[in-house]
Structure 1
Amino acid sequence: MSQLLLCYSRILEIVGDLVKVYVPEPDRDATGSVGFGDLALIENPLDPSQLPALAQVIELNRDSVSLQVFSGTKGLSTQASIRFLGHSMRVAFSSNILGRAFSGVGAPIDAGPDLTEEPHIEIDGPTVNPARRVLASRMIRTDVPMIDVFNSLVESQKIPIFSVAGEPYNQLLAQIGAHADADIIVFGGIGLIFDDYHFFKTAFEQAGVLAKTVMYVHLGSDPTVEALLVPDMALAVAERFAVEEGKRVLVLLTDMTAYADALKEVGVAMEHVPSNRGYIGDLYSQLARRYEKACDYKGAGSVTILSVTTMPGDDVTHPVPDNTGYITEGQFYLHDGVLDPFGSLSRLKQHVIGKVTREDHGQIMNTMVRFYAAAQDAQQKQAMSFELTEYDLRLLRFGDLFRQRFMDIRVTLPLEKALDLSWKTLAECFEAEELLMKQDLIDKYFPVATQRS
């Protein structure tokens, strides 16, 4: 740890969890002791037995510095003294963090041993040099048919799950983490209740992937500033695993709307002029800085980011999903307990479908969605009491099978079995000539034995 620097004791104001301290600008220029994002220790002279409170610099003015106190300012006196540490937040990084769970300040929360003696890395590094990025060309299998078959997840991709409160997005995220063919899983939970944290940990443990997983968890009862640190911790660790050890890392974040709300709360306390719906004016930049950590490194591993973004009121124009959509490469749309094939989109899937996957993948994807769209039209005709043709009835049957076999997020199937099941489903509802697919693929894959009687 860096040597403790000059101590300052002239506190100008305490507002919420923020402390503003007088630090003359010439002192900063002369010593270089205070920088944006640096940590500080606040010692309360009224209670010498109390441990120093950890704080982080979040604003630099001409003659003052604003700090966010991690544990809150309750009981803090204006007579307190502040010592700046000369470095930003650090997190332990070594193979010993795998299988462990940490709080938003990097402290163990799993009753495991302390890792203060392990090497530490700073969490606020810049995004990777674009020259070190390579074109995405490898797929991350999740065993979720609606992802693997219809909107493949590609290494180095950054993609959110758009959903609303009450939907099983955490169950979907845990299922993906349990089945994804990544070398390392880095989980970041923001604003979770304890039951959610326990659910994720239990799901990873039961799936046998906890040993390759590291968790950073901010609970709803924890200080707000810790919510802002969780994505940076998760991404800093993921980047090191990818660059230094060549690992294929999948980062799971939930919920980025809670992260944006924490940014808004801090902005209000600092009396910043709010932007759209009270969110901070640089919301786009704050989100982009995190999502741009996704990368396929030349000669090394990769970082792929899959996050949850809840939409208040199911409003996709809400500032958080709206800004997210401009940054990420598509989205998975989860509603009514299923992944919507129409609202979901992976803009990088063309890099892997039919190239690193089976030759029939592209044709199956397009044909299944085309028939499901037709099944939706037939369902509307049925709802409006129009006369249904025999073909309409077959479309309705196909729609039911499609929702049951593919759209239900509880379904787990390897990609090849999902493709085979797609052919089987088509054969149960349609004749070969109705598929409008390449004849050589029909001849090779269409299961004649299971065609309609």
Structure 2
Amino acid sequence: MVVYWQGLRYKSRYTSHNRKRIPIFLVSLVLNWSHCKQHNPHFFIWYWQQCGIDFRFQFLPCVLAYSTVSGVNGPLVILDNVKFPRYAEIVHLTLPDGTKRSGQVLEVIGTKAVVQVFEGTSGIDAKKTACEFTGDILRTPVSEDMLGRVFNGSGKPIDRGPNVLAEDYLDIMGQPINPQCRIYPEEMIQTGISAIDGMNSIARGQKIPIFSAAGLPHNEIAAQICRQAGLVQKSKDVMDYSAENFAIVFAAMGVNMETARFFKSDFEENGSMDNVCLFLNLANDPTIERIITPRLALTTAEYLAYQCEKHVLVILTDMSSYAEALREVSAAREEVPGRRGFPGYMYTDLATIYERAGRVEGRNGSITQIPILTMPNDDITHPIPDLTGYITEGQVYVDRQLHNRQIYPPINVLPSLSRLMKSAIGEGMTRKDHADVSNQLYACYAIGKDVQAMKAVVGEEALTSDDLLYLEFLQKFEKNFIAQGPYDNRTVYETLDIGWQLLRIFPKEMLKRIPQSTLAEFYPRESAARH
């Protein structure tokens, strides 16, 4: 029995004479002030105690409702005469037609509160809209049953399934991870893509974005990584997803329906939909909703990784849409803009998202982040990719020139980088020649690009024999190493063998970045069959 009286809650449990529990009948009785005047509530308490009811007292949170909306500015609602509003407090808005919306307090100035409405402010009547201050922060229900489900940008199911039976309610802002409890990422994730595995290896728990642009196949690359990602084993095998408790959390912000349908159908076709949780904020959904979508996804990923001990791959697309939503809120608040109109705190805000990747001591799970962002006008110096590059541990650069030449995946390895590659490769993890092969391939490809530019000026007749070797390497590298099919899953050992085949174009004397002992073991052609 639960009884409400004067803001107190009485929790009771019926018990029999032999003190064994019996089924509880849920009864709720509300005693208002008029009732209390006619009947002494202490009499009811004494009577129920005689029936064997145990009382426990808890104060209920006080919910205050206001109809003091003074203005609407973009995605913001301004309220006056609010008693003790708190920063980040959740507000429920009831529109004149009964529609419910949610918001969050962004700013408090005395008795004035600025509320950010997640579902947008269209249709809000300042005179007839009621606002309830809940006294709580934004929490999301999390459960392992969220895998295989599709949610909108606010975390509500849109797959015609039931609401999630929550195992816990977690703050979407997450909890800061003690740096001392972090585990340095040392296990390489095999993606099956040679340009990544061979030259920009990804470690489990790393955050590495895909820098792309409009019209480039970044979605196809991300889907291929989801299909093929696994852990490299010493036995030259890759762990199976089921044995590794692999899960994918996908968050889309401002994407069109075609992109959302592409990812969903791809997950279903390769049989991994049961291990995927999708959060979809489409282009026609409220812009302001994009601010909470990645945080909902990361909160779910943290629960799956640290409570359910799964290895979670988080894909966030498109972070450019998220940054533009941040700029819209900043402009509505009339804050001083930074570069290109983006708020000055965008670096800090992006860090609150990217820094939630990693591994934690005492937990077997991990969170690997692959955010996708489209660079406006292919400009890598734009504030969004510029600040992202400072926070993350490298980047995978999708190149338009390679795409125009029908090379898939069009990954340009020269501006690409993986800062944690050195700790995830080598003897005992991949192969002892991995780092040397990668360095030599980088050097030869960079020289080949310079020779190609020089050829356009002086002509092929003016090139030396060494220059012609670099040109041959350049063509075969892009054709045989970078280019591969969307369903071509290469192991890291196959990738290294392809690299050696390309390096054999040069005589041993020209391979200056590989030690002589490694050359003696791997350079002979017959060694390719042994490895």
Q: TM-score, normalised by structure 2?
A: 0.78
Residue 200 (structure 1) shift: 1.0
2:28 corresponds in structure 1 to: none
Say if 1:353 and 1:204 are closer, same or farther in 2 by CA, change over 3 A. Answer: same
> What one-letter code is carried by the residue in structure 2 that aligns with 1:233?
L
Residue 114 (structure 1) shift: 2.4
Separation of aligned partners in 1, 2:170 and 2:75? 26
> What one-letter code is carried by the residue in structure 2 that aligns with 1:106?
G
Does the Cα contact within 8 Å between 1:4 and 1:83 map onto a contact in 2?
no
- Give the SS at the match of 2:377: helix
Residue 191 (structure 1) shift: 0.8
Gap regions ≥5 residues in structure 2: 1-59, 231-243, 404-409
Q: What is the aligned counterpart of 2:339 among 253, 257, 276? A: 276
Residue 291 (structure 1) shift: 1.0
Q: What is the aligned counterpart of 2:498 among 416, 421, 431? A: 421
Separation of aligned partners in 2, 1:282 and 1:216? 25
1:193 corresponds in structure 2 to: 256
Say if 1:4 and 1:70 are closer, same or farther in 2 by CA, change over 3 A. Answer: farther
Does the Cα contact within 8 Å between 2:212 and 2:399 map onto a contact in 1?
yes
1:21 corresponds in structure 2 to: 79
Q: What is the aligned counterpart of 1:113 among 132, 142, 162? A: 162
1:221 corresponds in structure 2 to: 284
Are 1:392 and 2:441 matched, yes or no? no
Stretch of structure 1 that moved more, 342-351 or 391-400: 391-400
Deviation per CA, 1:225-244, whole angstroms, max 9, x where unpaired? 21001110111111122221
Does the Cα contact within 8 Å between 1:242 and 1:297 map onto a contact in 2?
no
Does the Cα contact within 8 Å between 1:162 and 1:331 map onto a contact in 2?
yes
1:31 corresponds in structure 2 to: none
Q: What is the aligned counterpart of 1:403 among 478, 486, 489? A: 478
Deviation per CA, 1:202-229, whole angstroms, max 9, x where unpaired? 2222222222221111111111121001
Say if 1:215 and 1:447 are closer, same or farther in 2 by CA, change over 3 A. Answer: farther
Gap regions ≥5 residues in structure 1: 29-33
2:433 corresponds in structure 1 to: 360
Residue 133 (structure 1) shift: 0.7
1:237-256 paired onto structure 2 within 5 Å: 237-256=300-319
Deviation per CA, 1:414-442, whole angstroms, max 9, x where unpaired? 11111112122323x23345434334333
Q: What is the aligned counterpart of 2:506 among 413, 419, 430? A: 430
Separation of aligned partners in 2, 1:406 and 1:103? 39
Does the Cα contact within 8 Å between 2:320 and 2:374 map onto a contact in 1?
yes
Are 1:36 and 2:87 matched, yes or no? yes
Does the Cα contact within 8 Å between 1:227 and 1:259 map onto a contact in 2?
yes
Say if 1:404 and 1:64 are closer, same or farther in 2 by CA, change over 3 A. Answer: same
- Give the SS at the match of 1:320: helix
Residue 94 (structure 1) shift: 1.5
2:107 corresponds in structure 1 to: 59
Q: What is the aligned counterpart of 2:418 among 333, 337, 346? A: 346
Deviation per CA, 1:330-374, whole angstroms, max 9, x where unpaired? 211111232111101111111112142111101111111222122
Separation of aligned partners in 1, 2:75 and 2:416? 39
Separation of aligned partners in 2, 1:416 and 1:23? 67
2:66 corresponds in structure 1 to: 8
Separation of aligned partners in 2, 1:321 and 1:443? 42
2:203 corresponds in structure 1 to: 154
- Give the SS at the match of 1:448: coil
Separation of aligned partners in 2, 1:65 and 1:292? 30
- Give the SS at the match of 2:209: strand
Separation of aligned partners in 2, 1:4 and 1:218? 33
2:171 corresponds in structure 1 to: 122
Does the Cα contact within 8 Å between 2:150 and 2:277 map onto a contact in 1?
yes
1:383 corresponds in structure 2 to: 456
> What one-letter code is carried by the residue in structure 1 that aligns with 2:140?
V
Following TM superposition, the consecutive aligned residue runs of length 4 or more in structure 1 with deviations greater than 4 angstroms are none
- Give the SS at the match of 2:219: helix
Separation of aligned partners in 1, 2:526 and 2:455? 31
Does the Cα contact within 8 Å between 2:202 and 2:424 map onto a contact in 1?
no
- Give the SS at the match of 2:398: strand
Residue 397 (structure 1) shift: 2.2
Separation of aligned partners in 2, 1:397 and 1:238? 46
Say if 1:16 and 1:60 are closer, same or farther in 2 by CA, change over 3 A. Answer: same
Stretch of structure 1 that moved more, 52-61 or 333-342: 52-61
Q: What is the aligned counterpart of 2:385 among 316, 321, 346? A: 321
Separation of aligned partners in 2, 1:445 and 1:386? 32
The structure having more radius of gyration, on CA atoms, is 2
Identity of aligned residues (%): 38
Say if 1:159 and 1:279 are closer, same or farther in 2 by CA, change over 3 A. Answer: same
Separation of aligned partners in 1, 2:526 and 2:358? 45
> What one-letter code is carried by the residue in structure 1 that aligns with 2:478?
R
Aligned length: 439
2:51 corresponds in structure 1 to: none
Say if 1:245 and 1:81 are closer, same or farther in 2 by CA, change over 3 A. Answer: same
Deviation per CA, 1:286-330, whole angstroms, max 9, x where unpaired? 001111111211121222211112221222221111211221122
2:37 corresponds in structure 1 to: none
Separation of aligned partners in 1, 2:348 and 2:527? 53
Separation of aligned partners in 1, 2:294 and 2:281? 10
2:374 corresponds in structure 1 to: 310
- Give the SS at the match of 2:202: coil
Are 1:74 and 2:122 matched, yes or no? yes
Deviation per CA, 1:395-426, whole angstroms, max 9, x where unpaired? 22221121122323645411111111212232
Does the Cα contact within 8 Å between 2:64 and 2:134 map onto a contact in 1?
no
Q: TM-score, normalised by structure 1?
A: 0.91
